[in-house]
Amino acid sequence: MDVVRNEPLLEVERLCVDFPGRGFRAKPNRVLRDVSFVIRPGETLGLVGESGSGKTTIGRAVLGLVPVSAGTVRFDGRDITRAGRAERRRLSQDVQVVFQDPYTSLNPSMTIESILTEPLTAAGTDAQEARRRVGALLDRVHLPADAAHRLPREFSGGQRQRIAIARAIALGPRLIVCDEPVSALDLTTQARVLELFTEIQENTGVAYLFVSHDLGVVRHVSHNVMVLYRGDVVEHGRAEQVTADPRHPYTRKLLMSAPVPDPAAQRLRREERRALAQSA
């Protein structure tokens, strides 16, 4: 088993992404520079950074939702950097996504059942069989079976995110790109949804590319963590090390900036951060 698990599932090498510049003949804007990493089956890589760091773009590049300017993305040994439509469709069996905003990631006019059967029927499952599987999918994300015939707006943010997770696991993927999946949720809901992610990983051996702005959340779910700053990787290592004992000054600043829920400890952290800012 270990031998199999150590084969890389997703390999990203020197990935660069450019966005077109604003205005006529403007120079393209490089939002990612030379990003490389490996994810193995059953592993979670956390991507942390602030707005504009490019963390979300990495996930979208892996999914083929933004064009790659340079570098390669390999899945299971296959080069998928510029996979065409047909190959992407085959890939959808293996690579799935959960987005940040549970309010816009579900079509408001479709029932939960048609949302969940969509990936199944697109993959060739016949409609009746797909509908039969909806109950089991809802059960796996701890939602009642009668949710199938309701509309997304009848659910709270946390429940919608569970529906989005159910859609992502419908085809039994090997990698799920999670783009800030708990940022829009309340504290208690966030904790429960994170539990669900871990539970699904332990049951199915799926790998996660987990994007978040929150170092604490990333520490909670990731095995490895990569820190991004304005399109560059500044630190990459084990979750324990990066989130507790960061080497790069920017990661340290990030860590020191997040307030801890303990007045005394937070006072210390604040002073430490100010000292860090003074020395910089």
Partner 1 sequence: MSTPQNPVLVPGSSATPTAPDPGRLRRPSSGALRRFTANPLGVVAAVVLAVVAVVVALAPVLPLADPDAIDLFGTLQSPGAEHLLGTDSSGRDVLSRLVWGGQVNLLGALLATAVSAVLGVSSGLLAGYHAGRFDTGASWVTSMLQALPAIVVLLAVRAVAGPSTWIAMTVFGVMLTPGFFRIVRGAVQAVRGELYVDAARVSGLSDARIVGRHVLTVVRAPIIIQCARVAGIAIAVQAGLQFLGVGDKSVPSWGAMISEGFRKLSIAPLLVLWPALLVGLVCASLMLLSNALRDALEDRGTATGPSRRRARAAAAAAGPATVVLPEQAEEGSALDTATGDLLTVRGLQVAYAQGDGGDKTVVHGVDLHVDSGEVLGLVGESGSGKTQTAFAVLGLLPEGGRVSAGSIDFRGTDLTGLTPGQHGALRGTDLAYIPQEPLSNLDPAFKIGYQLTTPMRLHLGISRREAKERALALLARVGIPDPARTFDSYAHEISGGMAQRVLIAGAISCKPKLLIADEPTTALDVTVQAEVLDLLRDLQAEFGMGIVLVTHNFGVVADICDRVAVMQHGRIVETGAVEDLFARPRHPYTRTLLDSMVEDGPARPYPFDDDVLRVPAADGAEAR
The 3-class secondary structure across the chain, one letter per residue, is CHHHHHCCCEEEEEEEEEECCCCCCCCCEEEEEEEEEEECCCCEEEEECCCCCCHHHHHHHHCCCCCCCEEEEEECCEECCCCCHHHHHHHCCCEEEECCCCCCCCCCCCCHHHHHHHHHHHCCCCHHHHHHHHHHHHHHCCCCHHHHHCCHHHCCHHHHHHHHHHHHHCCCCCEEEEECCCCCCCHHHHHHHHHHHHHHHHHHCCEEEEEECCHHHHHHHCCEEEEEECCEEEEEEEHHHHHHCCCCHHHHHHHHHCCCCCHHHHHHHHHHHHHHHHHC
50 is a site residue for partner 1 (CB under 8 A):
yes
**Candidate residues 16, 70, 83, 194; the one interacting with partner 1 per rule CB under 8 A:** 194
Shortest distance, CB of residue 27 to partner 1, whole angstroms? 20
Shortest distance, CB of residue 190 to partner 1, whole angstroms? 7
**Candidate residues 30, 74, 133, 223; the one interacting with partner 1 per rule CB under 8 A:** 223
Residues 253-272 that bind partner 1 (CB under 8 A): 253-254, 256-266, 270
165 is a site residue for partner 1 (CB under 8 A):
no
**Candidate residues 70, 189, 204, 252; the one interacting with partner 1 per rule CB under 8 A:** 189
Shortest distance, CB of residue 106 to partner 1, whole angstroms? 6
273 is a site residue for partner 1 (CB under 8 A):
yes
Q: Which stretch binds partner 1 (CB under 8 A): 16-24, 72-80, 127-135, 240-248?
A: 240-248
**Candidate residues 61, 178, 250, 251; the one interacting with partner 1 per rule CB under 8 A:** 250
Please, which residue, 27 or 51, has the CB nearer to partner 1? Answer: 51
**Candidate residues 56, 81, 159, 251; the one interacting with partner 1 per rule CB under 8 A:** 159
**Candidate residues 10, 17, 31, 43; the one interacting with partner 1 per rule CB under 8 A:** 43
Residues 16-35 that bind partner 1 (CB under 8 A): 33-35
**Candidate residues 20, 77, 84, 144; the one interacting with partner 1 per rule CB under 8 A:** 144
Reading the block at residue 145, the tokens are 């079976």
Shortest distance, CB of residue 75 to partner 1, whole angstroms? 13
Check: CB of residue 57 under 8 Å from CB of residue 47. Answer: no
Please, which residue, 79 or 277, has the CB nearer to partner 1? Answer: 277
Q: Number of residues in contact with partner 1, rule: CB under 8 A? A: 119
Residues 81-110 that bind partner 1 (CB under 8 A): 85, 88-93, 95-97, 99-101, 103-110
Name residues whose C-beta falls within 8 Å of residue 22's C-beta, 6 or more positions apart in sequence: none
Check: CB of residue 182 under 8 Å from CB of residue 210. Answer: no
